[in-house]
Structure 1
Amino acid sequence: MKKSLLYLFALICSMGIFTACSDDDELTMSQVIETELAGTYEGKLGISVNGSELAKDIAQNISLSKSTTENAVKLELKNFTFMGMTLGDIVVDPCTVTESNGTYTFKGAQTLTLSLVGSCPVEVSGTINGKNIDIDIAVEATALQQTVDVTFVGTKAN
């Protein structure tokens, strides 16, 4: 009888070795997007048209939020304005997110209607490493026969 109790006690004690805490579970991409990537990023824009730099170090915020598409974010650049021209909001959804060695990359493309230039294909790509973000936005303003390249470098504000 005493041996049975000893074996039972040993079994109960060894259960802690074979069980894991939920803290040990890895986050899914959806959870990473919601908890680590989504938020407002404060930084500076650089703008060039057909390869010629027009503006740099323009203070701007860009927001990332969870897309309705799996493993993707929604990118929003509100009130895109430069050189006195208001082009409107650049919103690209979805931008597919991938991870490699703790660095997250995202890509997306969409055709947007922007004031002053009309319908434009827009491509977005970016990299997030910790709280730092680098984004490239290419806008093909076919009505004006121009390619507008926008760079953004910033850090997460919240």
Structure 2
Amino acid sequence: MKKFLLSLVALFLMAGTTHAQAVANEVAGNYTGKLAISLTSKDDLQFGEETYNVILTADGNNTVTFALNNFGFSGMNLGDIVLPNIPVQKQTNGSILFGENAIKNFSFLDGAIVATAKINETSSIIKGDSLIADVDVIWKASEDMPIYVQFKGKKEATATGIQQAATKNAANTIYDLQGRRLQKAPNKGLFILNGKKVIR
């Protein structure tokens, strides 16, 4: 009887993990869209013409890594904002919400700009193939300065059978987060090797 109960508990735990992982896998992908940035308030957000990419990668049981490539403002390209281990949860209406996530420290322009960032879990959402992500960025200057950042984009369609076959046949292919093919893996950072995320 004890063995049966333990097996039953293990089965429920595995089912929960599989379901949670299914949510992370469902939202994983490349989202293309526009970025709005304001240094004054959330009400002043205005979307620019430039196209940005956000990559969501399934991490584990119920989490994703959020990567906003080429973040910048006022004509400056500061770099990538990569936020790991963000919980995702499917709601009864089918939308997917982000859960509480840790603040991550960033250093841009060789340390000239120090900032923190996290996903705002109260206002970020995925509905169907649409992502709205509010990224709470704080510029750590003489006094903390909030930078209001919002990404709105749509998930790119999955690869066709032909594209998947071509990818499968390309052994040891390495790409950066912008989708550019690399000759060799970088010593440090985040990159894609054979379709899987690698962090060094």
Which TM class, normalised by the smaller chain length?
0.7 to 0.9
Instruction: Tell me, yes or no, if the aligned pair for 1:133 and 1:153 is still in contact at 8 Å.
Output: yes
Structure with bigger strand share is 1
2:72 and 2:139 map into 1 onto residues whose CA distance is 15
1:54 and 1:132 map into 2 onto residues whose CA distance is 19
Determine which of 125, 128, 131 is the counterpart of 1:127: 125
The one-letter code sitting in structure 1 at the alignment partner of 2:113 is V
**1:30-69 correspondence runs (5 A):** 30-34=21-25, 36-51=26-41, 53=44, 55-57=46-48, 58-68=50-60
Higher Cα radius of gyration: 1
1:109 and 1:32 map into 2 onto residues whose CA distance is 20
Which string of whole-angstrom CA distances, capped at 9 and with x for unpartnered residues, describes residues 1-30 of structure 1? xxxxxxxxxxxxxxxxxxxxxxxx996120
Which string of whole-angstrom CA distances, capped at 9 and with x for unpartnered residues, describes residues 39-76 of structure 1? 000111110113174752342110100124x2111000
TM-score normalised according to structure 2 size: 0.59
Pairwise CA distance, 1:84: 1.7
Instruction: Tell me, yes or no, if the aligned pair for 1:131 and 1:156 is still in contact at 8 Å.
Output: yes
Determine which of 87, 102, 114 is the counterpart of 2:107: 114
Q: Please state if 1:148 is matched with 2:147.
A: yes
Pairwise CA distance, 1:88: 1.1
TM-score normalised according to structure 1 size: 0.73
Pairwise CA distance, 1:79: 1.4
1:110 and 1:152 map into 2 onto residues whose CA distance is 18
Higher relative contact order (CA 8 A, sep 6+): 1
Instruction: Tell me, yes or no, if the aligned pair for 2:23 and 2:89 is still in contact at 8 Å.
Output: no
Instruction: Tell me, yes or no, if the aligned pair for 2:23 and 2:88 is still in contact at 8 Å.
Output: no
Q: Percent identity?
A: 30
Q: Which residue of the partner structure matches residue 191 of structure 2?
A: none
Unaligned segments of structure 2, at least 5 residues: 1-14, 158-200
1:72 and 1:141 map into 2 onto residues whose CA distance is 26
Q: Which residue of the partner structure matches residue 105 of structure 1?
A: 97
